[in-house]
Amino acid sequence: MTGDGFVKSGYDYDARARKLTLVTLPPDVNEYNYDIKINDDAKFVAYIVIAEKTWAVVRSWPGMAEVVRSLPSDGYPSDYSVQNKVGWSGLYQFWFQYRISSGPYLIVDGDAQRRTIKVDTLASPY
């Protein structure tokens, strides 16, 4: 964590080797994005990119190779929304919810291991 309270890196622990490694997060991780989730077996990390456009991304952990990514959309005109959410509903099943500029929410879900993704819209958040 930086001096101003933002997360820029994480740790990966290898129990067999008893080794702790510092892992730098990718540059597309928005420093204001508090909702970054690692799946239960620590093989994938999911987060919402909030930049000029907004999209959902799942990367391998700790290697950070991109696994799946939604198409970019015009984000809501704020960097922060309490309705932006990320989660894992199973070992490899992820879901995202975030608002876009046209008003609805995008719901993105899929399977990181199978590299599948589905996108839908929702009028109001879960």
73 in a structural domain:
yes
101 in a structural domain:
yes
3 in a structural domain:
no
Per-residue pLDDT at 77: 61
88/96 Cα distance (integer angstroms): 9
DSSP state of 75: B
83 in a structural domain:
yes
Number of domains in the chain: 1
* 122-125 LR contacts (CB < 8 Å, sep 24+): 122/97, 125/83, 125/85, 125/97, 125/99
55 in a structural domain:
yes
**Of 4-18, 34-48, 63-77, where does mean pLDDT reach its minimum?**
4-18
Per-residue pLDDT at 108: 95
- The range of the structural domain enclosing residue 61 comes to 9-122
For residue 30, which amino acid is it?
A: N
Contact (Cβ atoms closer than 8 angstroms) between residue 91 and residue 103? no
- With the C-alpha atoms ordered 7, 13, 18, 21, is the resulting torsion angle positive or negative? negative
- Say yes or no to pLDDT of 111 above 50: yes
* 72-100 pLDDT per residue, tens: 988 776 555 567 889 999 999 999 998 88
Per-residue pLDDT at 1: 45
Single pTM value for the model:
0.84
